[in-house]
Amino acid sequence: TRVTALLPALGNLHSHSFQRAMAGMTEHRSHGQDSFWTWRELMYRFLDRLTPEQIEAIAAQAFMEMLESGYSAVGEFHYVHHQPGGQAYDDLAELSGRIIAAAAQSGIGLTHLPVLYSYGGAGKTPLTGGQLRFGNDLERFAKLVESARRTIGAQLDGDARIGVAPHSLRATAPEQLARAAETFSAVPFHVHIAEQTREVEEIEAWLGATPVAWLLANLPVGERWCLIHATHLTDEETAALARCGAVAGLCPITEANLGDGIFNGLDHLKGGGRFGIGTDSNVHITLSGELRQLEYSQRLRHRARNVLLAGPGSLGQSLYLQAAAGGAQALGRDAGRIATGALADLVAIDRNDDRICALSPAQIVDGWVFAADDRLVSHVWSAGRHCVKDGRHVARDAIAARYRKAVADLVASL
């Protein structure tokens, strides 16, 4: 294998893999104004048809595409636990097992994040409709996590790990979150926060504080925490998030697709804040595209160029290395750098490609992020597993064939 440029590979810190099969299905406007909330209802109806076999096939396809885009690992924020209607499978962690099997097929480094989802909305409203597939109280959730942990140990290499993900303040409750933080005190801890203005307003009306303000005041938020989206923050909340050491889990393409808003990136970085990137809804799986969308959103917000860089230098390289470090931290993965003893999470890009062949070594990442796309990726290793060779996943044909059958059957049932 001849490599012309080698970089530490990024971890994708936030994915709902099953939504990969919905990509392109929700861009048709309905009556009235579409929003995150109308999209969510469509998503619930979609997932009510998914079988365990389809979930596994879709996840394997998504993981394969992530690897081909240059990601070496993924944090799978997994909240579909039960059968349609809410009845548990005989194996409580059946669907976690399907995600783990998909990771084994693709070779991606997995931080599996089973989701605690107990309520339908702020104020402990009951679960309804599609949410019934998600529901657990804390006791049953702990059993599910332990079962998934055993499956990971039996089926995946030693770089795989488990974390937990209370879905959000609106899907849990204050006392439950505090108990979860205490019970799972030594693993990655991810939570959706302040994605939508309606969510912020509902939490403030219920708890007397905005989601981020409440979280930082009441729970031990620190370096093992990842706050997903954190889109609607005050200046004071932005500064506090930066100080606490948690990672802001940014998903710029999904956040744009859903009309969420724009993260306060400039102030977060000025305060020394950490961030990583995720593909979330997987509407478009691209590493370079997420970083490009992140920076371009800031340019539109501030009407300036090269915003997310404190001083002179390569913006692309700075964004990339910060995202690599933040992603590794959020996934609890010894990666994000090329160093003796670290995991061999590596990506090679083709410096001879026409789109970047005129660039100097110092400009290569700028070229990848802003002038080209992920077709530059030639090889990817995840913890030394050589998953992508010459731009193609080593198991692409088999994974894609299973995916095509799964989605054909799924579409026929809709």
Q: Is residue 78 annotated as a catalytic residue, yes or no?
A: no
Q: How far is residue 362's CA from residue 368's CA, in Å, rounded to a whole number?
A: 12
Residue 227 · residue 241 · CB < 8 Å: yes
Active-site entry in 229, 232, 268, 379: 229
DSSP 251-275: -HHHHHHTT-----HHHHHHTT-EE
For 33, counting Cβ atoms within 10 Å of its Cβ (0-12 exposed, 13-18 middle, 19+ buried), the class is exposed
- CB neighbours (10 Å) of residue 292? 20
Residue 298 · residue 265 · CB < 8 Å: yes
Active-site entry in 159, 280, 345, 366: 280
Looking up tokens 């009235």 gives 32
Q: How far is residue 306's CA from residue 314's CA, in Å, rounded to a whole number?
A: 9
Q: Is residue 31 annotated as a catalytic residue, yes or no?
A: no
For 358, counting Cβ atoms within 10 Å of its Cβ (0-12 exposed, 13-18 middle, 19+ buried), the class is exposed
Those residues with Cβ within 8 angstroms of residue 183's Cβ, 6 or more apart along the chain or in another chain = 138, 142
**In this structure, which amino acid lies at residue 248?**
A
At residue 388, φ and ψ (nearest 5 deg) are -125, 125
DSSP 302-335: HT-SS-S-SSSS-HHHHHHHHHHHHHHHHHT-S-
- CB neighbours (10 Å) of residue 124? 14
Q: Which residues belong to the active site?
A: 229, 280
